[in-house]
Structure 1
Amino acid sequence: MVTINDIAKLAGVAKSTVSRYLNGGSVSRRTKETLDRIIKETEYVPNTFAQSLKVKQSNLIGIIIPRLNSYATNEILQSVDRCLREKSYQLLIVNTDQDVEREVENLYALSRQKVAGIILLATDVTRAHKEAMEKIGIPVLLLGQRSDATYAIVHEEEEAGAAMGRHALRLGHKKILYLGVTEKDESVGVLRKKGVMDVLKNAEGIDVQEEEVDFNFDITFRFLKEYLKDRVETYILCATDNIALAAYKASITLGRKVPEDVSISGFGGYSITDLVTPSITTVRYAYKEMGRIAAENLLRLLQGEEIPKKIALSGEFLPKESTKAL
Structure 2
Amino acid sequence: MNINEIARLAGVSRATVSRYLNNGYVSEEKKAVIHRVIEETGYQPSSQAQMLRTKKTRLVGVILPKINSNTISREAAGISDILTKKGYQIILANTNNDIEEELKYISLFKDNQVDGVIFIATILTRRHKKLLKECKVPVVILGQLLEGYPCIFQDDYKAAGRITEQLVQTGNKFGYITVTDKDEAVGQQRKAGVVDTLARYGRELQPKCVKTGDFTLESGYEAARELFQEQGDVDTLICATDTMAAGAMTWLKENGYRIPQDVQVAGIGDSPLGKILEPKLTTIHFYYKTSGMEAAEMLTSLMESGNGGVCKEIKMGCELVLRGSHRDPVKSK
Q: Report the TM range for the smaller structure's normalisation.
A: 0.7 to 0.9
Q: Deviations over 1:144-172 (max 9, x none)?
A: 1111141111011111111011111122x
1:118 aligns with 2:124: no
1:315 aligns with 2:323: no
Q: Deviations over 1:198-254 (max 9, x none)?
A: 010232255642222221112332443354235211100111101110111010011
Contact kept? 1:240, 1:267, Cα under 8 Å:
yes
Partner of 1:168: 167
1:283 aligns with 2:281: no
Contact kept? 1:182, 1:212, Cα under 8 Å:
yes
Partner of 1:66: 65
Change (3 A) 1:291 1:53: farther
Partner of 2:219: 219
Query: 2:325 corresponds to which letter in structure 1?
Result: S
Partner of 1:194: 192
1:229 aligns with 2:266: no
Q: Report the CA distance between 1:293 and its aligned residue.
A: 0.6
Report % sequence identity. Answer: 28
Q: Report the CA distance between 1:294 and its aligned residue.
A: 0.7
Q: Report the CA distance between 1:112 and its aligned residue.
A: 5.0
Structure 1: how far apart are the matches of 2:123 and 2:163? 24
Structure 2: how far apart are the matches of 1:54 and 1:192? 48
Partner of 1:139: 138
Structure 2: how far apart are the matches of 1:110 and 1:204? 50
Partner of 1:35: none
Structure 2: how far apart are the matches of 1:292 and 1:53? 29
Partner of 1:8: none
Partner of 1:7: none
Change (3 A) 1:60 1:238: same
Aligned length: 274
Partner of 2:75: 76
Structure 2: how far apart are the matches of 1:207 and 1:221? 20
Structure 1: how far apart are the matches of 2:53 and 2:148? 22
Runs of 5+ in structure 2 lacking a partner?
1-50
Q: Which has the larger radius of gyration?
A: 2
Query: 1:265 corresponds to which letter in structure 2?
Result: A
Contact kept? 1:156, 1:313, Cα under 8 Å:
yes
Partner of 2:180: 182
Q: Report the CA distance between 1:53 and its aligned residue.
A: 9.0
Structure 2: how far apart are the matches of 1:104 and 1:71? 23
Query: 1:270 corresponds to which letter in structure 2?
Result: S
Change (3 A) 1:53 1:309: farther
Contact kept? 1:107, 1:133, Cα under 8 Å:
yes
Helix, strand or coil at the partner of 2:81: helix
Q: Report the CA distance between 1:88 and its aligned residue.
A: 1.2
Q: Report the CA distance between 1:274 and its aligned residue.
A: 1.2
Structure 2: how far apart are the matches of 1:155 and 1:175? 28
Runs of 5+ in structure 1 lacking a partner?
1-51
Query: 2:215 corresponds to which letter in structure 1?
Result: F
Query: 2:198 corresponds to which letter in structure 1?
Result: L
Structure 2: how far apart are the matches of 1:178 and 1:54? 56
Change (3 A) 1:92 1:116: same
Contact kept? 1:62, 1:92, Cα under 8 Å:
yes
Helix, strand or coil at the partner of 1:153: strand
Q: Which stretch of the first structure deviates more once superposed, 186-195 or 306-315?
A: 306-315
Change (3 A) 1:227 1:194: closer
Contact kept? 1:161, 1:192, Cα under 8 Å:
yes
Change (3 A) 1:53 1:206: farther
